[in-house]
Structure 1
Amino acid sequence: MTDKGQAAGVQPGRLSSEKVAANFTDMHPPLSAHEAAVAADRCYFCHDAPCVTACPTTIDIPLFIRQIQGGKPGDAGMTIFDQNILGGMCARVCPTETLCEEACVRNAAEESPVEIGRLQRFATDRVMAGNTHPYTRAAATGKRVAVIGAGPAGLACAHRLAMLGHEVTLYDAKKKPGGLNEYGIAAYKTVDDFAAREVDWLLGIGGIKLETGVKLGEAFTIRELQEDFDAVFLGVGLGGVNRPGLPGEALDNAEDAVDFISRLRQSDDATALPVGRKVVVVGGGMTAVDAAVQARMLGAESVSMVYRRGREAMGASPYEQDHAAKHGVQIVTHATPVAITGESAVASITFERTATGADGKLAGTGEQMTLEADQVLLAIGQRLDIASPRIGIENGKIAVTGPGRTNLERVWAGGDCTAGEDLTVVAVAEGRDAAEDMHKMLMEG
C-alpha cells in the first residue's frame, strides 16, 4: 500500500493520487439488482424476526427484503425510511455485524448472515435517486420548534416534526450540517459526499429552516429558546474532546484523532493531507480505528493503535479490529500512555504496561515501552460541551427520561449527548421518538 523510501516526518503526498483514490473507494460497494435479488432470496422471513428486535429503529427488515425480492425496491426503501429517515447513512456506517446481522438466524446454522446492510443501501438509494422528496407535510399546526444540532438525532427529529406539520428551525455550530456523519466518519465509508447529499434530500420535505455557524451558549441560551419557541430539542452531540494531560501533548504533530478525520473528510484532495511515516493512535474505539486505517491509506509506513485494556474491552467491534489489522495496523493492548517526547515535534511516545485485576480494575505494572512516532493521534473519547447550568447532567451527559424529556419544561434531548450507545442509528431513533413525544405535547398539552 505504501511506497518505499518514504521521507521521515509528517508530510503530504506520501502516495500518488491514483493510489490514494484506490485506497478510498467505497468500503462496501452497492449491490446490483441481480446481486440484491440473490441476497434477498437468502432471507427466511422469520415471523418473530430477531433482526428487527436488534435494530434500534425497529425497521421491519423481513418486509423490506420481501419487497426487494418482489421487485419493488422503492417500496422497500419507504419501509426503511418510515422508521429511519437516515436509513441511507445507517446502511453504510451501522455496525450491522453486531446488530441486525448478528441476530440473523442463519448464524445458528453457521452460515453467513443475510446482507441486511447492503440490501438496505440498495433500497434507500433507489428512493433517494428520485426527483422529489417522498414525504409530504401534514397541515400546518402553527407550532414552532428549535432543534439544536444538525447531526443524526437533530436531523431525524427535525424531519419528523416537519412531516407532522410543525415549523422547525435547525441550528448547528459547524459551517455544514450533518454532525459526525459529515465530519467524524471515515471517508471510505461515505464516498461521493453522501452525507451532504443526504441532508439536502432530507430537507426537501420543507418546513425546516437551517442556520449554521450558530452555537448554543454563544448565539442564544436554552432559556431564550424556551421563550421564542414552543419546544426545543437538543442534539448537540459531544463537542468536547478528552485530553489525558500527557507531558508533550502540545508538541507539533500530536493532535486529536477527530480533528485528523475531520480534515480528511473536508479535504478536496486527500493527498494534500499531511501524515506521518510512523503513526501511533491512542485509543480502542471506532474513532481510533478510523484514524489508524486512514493514516495507512494516506501512506503511513507503520501505524500502531494502542489501547489500555484487552481487545475484548475495545469500543471497536471485532469486525472493525480485524478491518484495521487487514490494513496493516498493529494493535497493541494493555498499555497506557505516559509521555510524548520530542524537541519541537513528536519523536516518540512512552507507555506503561497495564494489567486487569480480579476486581476488574486497571493498574500499571511499572514496565514501560517506547514507540517511535512522528505523529500521535489521541482517540480517547469525547465529552459533553454545553454551557447551561440549568440542564440536568448525569454521568457527564444530559439526563433524560422516557422519549428524551429533560428536567427543563418543553426541552427534549437525544443522540450522543444523552446516555446510551453512541451510534448513528441510536441517535436517529432517539430524535424520531422525541419528535413524536413533542408532537403529542404540542397538540394535546
Structure 2
Amino acid sequence: MAIKQTGDIAAQRLSPEQLSCEFADIAPLLDASAAAAAASRCHYCYDAPCVNACPTQIDIPSFIRKIGNGNLKGAALDILSANPLGGMCARVCPTEILCEGACVRNHQDAKPVAIGALQRHATDWAMARGEALFKRAADTGRHVAVVGAGPAGLACAHRLALAGHRVTVYDAHPKAGGLNEYGIAAYKTVDDFAQREVAWLCSVGGIEIKHGVALGQDVSLDELRNTHDAVFLAIGLTGVRALAMEGEELRGVTNAVDFIEQIRSAADLGTVAVGRRVVVIGGGNTAVDAAVQSHKLGATAVTMVYRRGVESMSATWAERDFAQTNGVTLITHATPMRLIGADGAVIGVEFERTSREGSQERFVVEADMVLKAIGQTLVPVGIERELLTLDGTRIEVDANGQTSLAGVWAGGDCAATGGIDLTVQAVQDGKLAAAAIDAQFARTAARAA
C-alpha cells in the first residue's frame, strides 16, 4: 500500500477561541434548581447499593438528602469525610460502573440519580467558600513521610494530619496532585481544579509538600525510615510499556501519558503540537483521553486501535461513547505488527486482524503521530526487591497497606491491594494506610505508658 508522506505534526492548528471551546468543562456545575431536581430522584435506600459500589463508602443517600434540604455544608462534610478528594472524584470517577451503575433507578426508568454531579455540586460549593469542615487534632509529635503527592499520598496525608501527626510529602514533580494534575484529560478538570483541591486539602495544617524530590535519587527509603516515624509509599506507576516492535524509535511515536502531561502542563494549548493523522494504540482511559484531546487540538483523523473487543477494554462504555462522539474512530480486534516510517518519521501502522482465529489479514492506518497507551508499569527505583510481589510488578502489602518492612506502608497504583486502578481506589488505599499507621502509633504509645 502506498502511503502519502506528510510528517505533519504542528501546533496552533486551531485558534485560541476554538481551543477554549474544545477544552471547556464537559460537565458544567449544576445550578441550585437543577441540583434540587436531581436530588429529588433519590429513594434514600436503606441498604444503599450505591454506597457499597463506592470504594470510599461515601454515605450517598445522606449527602443527597442534605442537598435536597439546602444543607450544602453538611453534604460536603459527608462526602469529604469519606473521600478528601471527593471534588476530583466527582469529575473523573467512572460513576456509570460504580455508584450510578448500582443505583436502583436503573431498574425503574433506566436513568440513575446523578450522583457524580450532585457530589461535585456540594464539594465545589464548600471549596469555593473555603469552608473549614475539619479541625486538626493536637500535635502528637509523630512525623510521617509520604512519598508521592497523588491521590493515595494526599488522602493518607490528610487523614494523618487530622489525627495530629505531622506529614511531609515528597514528590518528584513541580506540582502536587499526581495523575489528577498530570494524567487526566484537561477537559475533565478545568480552572486549575487539581491545585485548588490540593490547597484545600492542605489547609487543615500539619502537611508540608517538598517538590523535586525523587525516591532513590534525592532521598533513600532508609533515610526516610531513619528520620520519620512511618513511611507511606504512593509512587504510582511511572513506567510505560513499550510496543517492542520495528519502528518504535521513529519521530512522531510517543507515549500517551507524556502527551497528556504535555497538554496539562501547557500554559497555552496552542503551543502543543499534534499530528494531522493520529493513531492511538490501547483501550483504556489513557488511550481515550489522548485520542479525544488529539481531536480537540485539531487533528483531522484520530483512530484508536485495540487488540481485543470492546468488552475487554478497561475504558468504560461511557468513555468509549464519548470518544466516538468526539471525533475518534475505534477499531477493535487488531494487533499492531510494525510502525512504518520514511526519512526517520512515522507514516503509518500495520495491524493484523485478530477477530477470526487463524486470520492473518493485515491492514495499514496512515499516521504522522502514534501514541502508545498499552499500560503503565512500576519503576521500583529505591525500592528493595523483597518489598515487591513475586513478579515484581507491584509492592506487596497486606489488607491495611503494610509492607514486609517495619514502619513502611504503600498504596495506590504501585501497591498490590487487589483494588481497581482508579483515583477513588487510591484515595481509599491512602485512608486505610493512614488508619493503620495511626493505630500503630497508638499501640506504641500504650506500650510505653
**TM-score, normalised relative to structure 1:** 0.95
1:97 corresponds to: 96
The one-letter amino acid paired with 1:393 is L
- CA drift at 1:130: 2.2
Paired residue secondary structure (1:63)? helix
Which stretches of structure 1, 4 residues or more, deviate above 6 A after TM superposition? none
Paired residue secondary structure (2:324)? helix
1:382 corresponds to: 376
What whole-Å deviation, never above 9, does each CA across 1:172-215 have from its counterpart, x for those lacking one? 01111100000000000000010011111111111111101100
**1:272 and 1:257 mapped to 2: Cα distance?**
17
Paired residue secondary structure (1:186)? coil
Unaligned 5+ segments in structure 2 are: 1-5, 445-449
1:59 corresponds to: 58
Larger CA deviation: 283-292 vs 205-214: 205-214
Identity %: 54
- CA drift at 1:8: 6.2
2:360 corresponds to: 366
- CA drift at 1:356: 7.5
The number of residues matched between the two structures is: 433
2:447 corresponds to: none
**1:133 and 1:232 mapped to 2: Cα distance?**
28
Question: Given that residues 281 and 372 in structure 2 are in contact (C-alpha distance below 8 angstroms), is that contact kept between their aligned partners in structure 1?
Answer: yes
RMSD over equivalenced CA pairs, Å: 1.3
Question: Given that residues 7 and 347 in structure 2 are in contact (C-alpha distance below 8 angstroms), is that contact kept between their aligned partners in structure 1?
Answer: no
What whole-Å deviation, never above 9, does each CA across 1:143-199 have from its counterpart, x for those lacking one? 110000000000000010001000111000111110000000000000001001111
Question: Given that residues 391 and 406 in structure 1 are in contact (C-alpha distance below 8 angstroms), is that contact kept between their aligned partners in structure 2?
Answer: no
- CA drift at 1:64: 0.2
1:240-319 aligned within 5 A: 240-319=239-318
1:148-297 aligned within 5 A: 148-297=147-296
2:349 corresponds to: 349
**1:311 and 1:356 mapped to 2: Cα distance?**
15
Paired residue secondary structure (1:112)? coil
- CA drift at 1:132: 5.1
**2:226 and 2:375 mapped to 1: Cα distance?**
34
- CA drift at 1:38: 0.4
What whole-Å deviation, never above 9, does each CA across 1:376-426 have from its counterpart, x for those lacking one? 000011000122224422241111111101111011010011132110000
- With over 3 angstroms needed to count, the CA separation of the structure-2 counterparts of 1:98 and 1:416, relative to structure 1, is same
1:408 corresponds to: 405
- With over 3 angstroms needed to count, the CA separation of the structure-2 counterparts of 1:128 and 1:356, relative to structure 1, is farther
- CA drift at 1:366: 2.2
The one-letter amino acid paired with 1:11 is A
The one-letter amino acid paired with 2:350 is T
- With over 3 angstroms needed to count, the CA separation of the structure-2 counterparts of 1:413 and 1:250, relative to structure 1, is same
- CA drift at 1:32: 0.2
Q: 2:395 aligns with which of 398, 402, 418?
A: 398
**TM-score, normalised relative to structure 2:** 0.94
Larger CA deviation: 338-347 vs 166-175: 338-347
What whole-Å deviation, never above 9, does each CA across 1:233-270 have from its counterpart, x for those lacking one? 00000011111212111111100000100000111111
The one-letter amino acid paired with 1:344 is G
**1:257 and 1:228 mapped to 2: Cα distance?**
37
- With over 3 angstroms needed to count, the CA separation of the structure-2 counterparts of 1:428 and 1:243, relative to structure 1, is same
Question: Given that residues 154 and 235 in structure 1 are in contact (C-alpha distance below 8 angstroms), is that contact kept between their aligned partners in structure 2?
Answer: yes
What whole-Å deviation, never above 9, does each CA across 1:276-313 have from its counterpart, x for those lacking one? 11000000000000000000111111100000101100
1:26 corresponds to: 25
The one-letter amino acid paired with 1:272 is T
